[in-house]
Structure formats: C-alpha cells, structure tokens
C-alpha cells in the first residue's frame, strides 16, 4: 500500500492557517505576511509537500519546459487604433503590472478583431477583455481565466458598479434641472448594458423620456450618433455618453452645431480617464487599475475570495 502524499490542506492544518492563506504563502502572492509565509513553508518542508507545476511556475517564472511563463491580456476590439485611442487599455496594463510586481512572469498583450479559433499555446493565465459569454466560458475551460466585466456564468470576473455609475450620471442631470436628455450608449456588452440600465431606470423614475442611440465606444460612431440625436431632438439640454471616448465625439458634434457645453447642453461621460480631466468633462470614475490588479491577483491565486464589484464615483466638472 503506497503512502499518501501530503496535500496543501495538510500543510494548512498543521500550520494553523486556512487553505487560502497556505496557498498564498506557498505561491508568494499578495495577502500573506512574512511570518505566515515562513511558517507554511517550514511545515511544507517537514511534511514533504511538493508544490504542483502551477506553484512552481509562480515561484520560478518557468514552465515544465523551462520557458518563461506569461500572463496574456486578450483584448477583442476591431479598432486597429484601439490601444492608443482608448485610455482604458493603458490603465488595464498599469494595474496588471502592479499586480505582477517583480515576479519573473511575462505580461503579453494581444489585441484581436475577433477571437482566434485556435489556442495552441495557452498561457499560464489569461485576462479577457470584451470576450462574449459563450466564448469566455470556452476559454475558462482551458486554464486560469479572469474576465474584466461580466461574462458567462461560472467565469470569474472583476467589474465596477456600472449600474450604479449610470444611476449617478442620471441623478446628476435630473437634479441640475435638465429635462430634454439624450444618451449615446455603448455596444452589446455587459458593462455597456449595465450603464444603460442604471441610467434609464433613474430617468424613468423621474418621469423623463430619453432620446438615445447605441454606439461602439469610438469617437466616430459617437459623433454620428450625437448628430442623429440633435436631428431628432434639437432642444436637447443634456447628453450622457457611456464612455469618455464616446463623450469626445459628442462634444465635437455639439460644437459644430453651435451648442454651448454646459450652458446649452450638459455632457457627462463614464470612465474618469485622463481624457475627462483634459476636456473638463464630468465623468463617472471607475477604478480600472484596481480592477486589473485584482484580476491578475486572482489569476496568480485562485484561492482568493471572489472579487466584489468596485465602486464608481461621479466627478462633476465644467461640462455639466
């Protein structure tokens, strides 16, 4: 009869810590004090516990073939200029690098117009952005996966309180006396749908109709959509843009139409990016860096508790 090999649960029990704490201590990830880390590793050595390949990869940054392991940020966005035009992605990379710290892991960024059919060289962990539900579930079955934004049931995700942010924007416009409100919402993604739902719910409760159009988080589409809104409702006195990039297109359309921002038409965006600050744009701030950092930490240590929704906060500036 062969002797059963000690497990991580055995190490945790003898060390007097939770299994999650033992995992963090063995992997060297965030959340374990130096004392706990030392105690757990001492117990592991005493019991003869051998970390599996994933833990070894975290410790050494190498896979079983000796190659450097990598975290892949997989972005589905058909816009070839997306990485430079959308500040969101840069903020994601900042948070991801913050989570990796000095670990010997490669951070690989991959923007694709559509999901690749083949996945012959899966990474150690993958961060999904703009990946639809069914596809996200398929990727999650291939290894460690965390999505930014709600994806398919069972796929771990990190997201801000999009619905709450939409409510904050709508409440601000109602409370400041805006009565002919328009909106340029986003594409058919969960985050855009949540912002739209929160915004429209507040407006409906206030008894106000909204003239709106769907966009795609690009300036060009937002510009065209804003022109459509002005043609349908020339007396608009407010526009909610579902992201700051969208707001830039709205602002251009308003300028060309001779409408004074804030005096004639209030504009509120969503993201709280550097674009909003530079344009003096009121915007719902979402903590993108913290989202990405949390997502990568969960890739490094799946034993961490599921992430909660991150709060959003409306910053009022000169545009409203």
Residue 30 clears pLDDT 70, i.e. is over it: no
Which residues have CB under 8 Å from 173's CB, separation 6+?
A: 181, 238, 240, 266, 268, 320
As a whole number of angstroms, the distance between CA 298 and CA 291 comes to 11
As a whole number of angstroms, the distance between CA 86 and CA 62 comes to 33
As a whole number of angstroms, the distance between CA 44 and CA 10 comes to 9
Helix (H, G, I), strand (E, B) or coil at 265: strand
Percentage of the chain modeled with pLDDT above 70? 91
The string over 151-160, giving b where at least 16 C-beta atoms fall within 10 Å of a residue's C-beta and e elsewhere, is bbeebbbbbb
Full-model pTM: 0.79
What's the Cα-to-Cα distance from 319 to each of 55, 84, 237, rounded to whole Å?
A: 50, 24, 12
As a whole number of angstroms, the distance between CA 190 and CA 132 comes to 9
| Average pLDDT over the chain, rounded to an integer | 89
Residue 170 clears pLDDT 90, i.e. is over it: yes
Residue 40 clears pLDDT 90, i.e. is over it: no
């Amino acid at each position: 009869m062969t002797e059963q090999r000690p497990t991580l649960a055995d190490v945790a029990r003898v060390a007097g810590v939770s299994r999650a704490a033992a995992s963090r201590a063995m992997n060297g990830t965030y959340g374990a004090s130096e004392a706990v880390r030392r105690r757990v590793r001492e117990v592991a050595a005493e019991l003869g516990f051998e970390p599996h390949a994933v833990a070894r990869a975290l410790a050494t940054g190498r896979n079983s073939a000796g190659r450097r392991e990598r975290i892949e940020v997989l972005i589905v966005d058909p816009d070839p200029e997306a990485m430079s035009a959308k500040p969101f992605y840069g903020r994601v990379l900042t948070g991801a690098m913050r989570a990796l710290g000095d670990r010997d892991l490669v951070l690989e960024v991959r923007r694709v117009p559509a999901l690749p059919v083949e996945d012959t060289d899966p990474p150690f962990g993958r961060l999904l952005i703009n990946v639809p539900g069914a596809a996200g579930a398929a990727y999650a079955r291939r290894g460690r996966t965390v999505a930014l934004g709600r994806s398919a049931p069972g796929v771990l995700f990190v997201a801000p309180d999009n619905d709450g942010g939409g409510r904050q924007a709508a409440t601000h416009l109602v409370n400041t006396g805006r009565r002919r409100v328009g909106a340029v919402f986003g594409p058919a993604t969960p985050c855009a749908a949540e912002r739209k739902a929160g915004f429209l719910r507040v407006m409906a409760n206030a008894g106000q109709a909204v003239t709106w159009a769907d966009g795609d988080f690009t300036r060009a589409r937002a510009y065209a959509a804003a022109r459509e809104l002005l043609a349908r409702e020339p007396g608009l006195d407010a526009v909610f843009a579902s992201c700051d990039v969208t707001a830039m297109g709205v602002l251009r359309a308003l300028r060309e139409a001779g409408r004074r921002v804030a005096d004639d038409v209030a504009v509120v965006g969503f993201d709280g990016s550097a674009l909003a600050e530079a344009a003096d744009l009121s915007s719902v701030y979402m903590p993108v860096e913290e989202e990405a950092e949390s997502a990568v930490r969960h890739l490094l240590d799946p034993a961490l508790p599921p992430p909660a929704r991150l709060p959003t906060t409306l910053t009022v500036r000169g545009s409203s």
